[in-house]
Amino acid sequence: MSLHVEKRDAVGWIVFDQPKRRNAINGAMWRGIPPAMARFSEDPDVRCVAFRGAGNEAFSAGADISEFEANRSRSEAVGEYDDLLDRVLHSIQGSLKPSVAVIYGYCLGGGLEIALACDLRYCAASAQFGIPAAKLGLAYNVEGHKRLLETVGHSRAREIMFLGRRYNAEEALAMGIVHKVLPTESLEGFVTDVLQDLVDNAPLSIANSKTIIEEYVKSLGTPDAARMRSAIERCAKSEDYREGRRAFMEKRKPRFTGR
């Protein structure tokens, strides 16, 4: 399948492992992401999820084009493929565990879709970004457009989609596609610190914020006020909130448990 899923301490890792194809994502890899996210979402010991590509040449150069003739040539197949991609993106966005994309090299097409579905994105200075749908004659899916619009705004989204060009790391930073650009040799250490912050911070506080943010950016309907209020109340009544107050008063580092 070329998708590696593993838990390392409190971090769930999902790794695209097709380095000879620049970590292109085939159908089996797409299908493997939702159950992997469900597994990590249900594991109380996992505090966050990280995505990356094998090696330092590519996060992912996109969907595996060699499968397009079989999987995206008929209108019915295109619909099924887009439904699969929507399930993948919703599994990342809908999880209450924060997600991080660690980006080296190429982050194109479907690879960029995955990265944009993540909550945080950090890249090496050598990274390249783009969505070449217009150069391939294919229709980019609805959920991918939505997340792109949320991230860069409609003006930039038009340029990205209409021209199909590639952008370097600094251009991606200016557009808000990534949160920070690091020298290639510094990215791993920086992300390790970010992941440790996510592990150390209160999981219910993060889940509360993610719930509210996702409610406000969802495409259909008004934000679910009851769901947001429930998330706030759960956090307010938690042992972690009491622990946070005690730790502050006692001038020590809090020990959050997610309860």
Domain map (residue ranges) of the chain:
3-198, 202-249
In the predicted model, what is the mean pLDDT of residues 140-157? 90
Q: What's the whole-number average pLDDT of the chain?
A: 88
Condensed to tens digits (0 to 9), the pLDDT of residues 149-162 reads 999 999 999 999 99
Judged against a pLDDT cut of 90, whether residue 93 lies above it is answered with yes
Measured at the CA of 192, the angle between CA 207 and CA 151, to 5 degrees, comes to 55
Q: Which CATH architecture has domain 3-198?
A: Alpha-Beta Complex (3.90)
Name the DSSP class of 231.
Answer: H
Contact between 149 and 125 under an 8 Å Cβ cutoff? The reply is no
pTM here? Answer: 0.85
User: Mapping DSSP to helix (H, G, I), strand (E, B) and coil, where does residue 214 land?
Assistant: helix
Measured at the CA of 160, the angle between CA 158 and CA 166, to 5 degrees, comes to 165
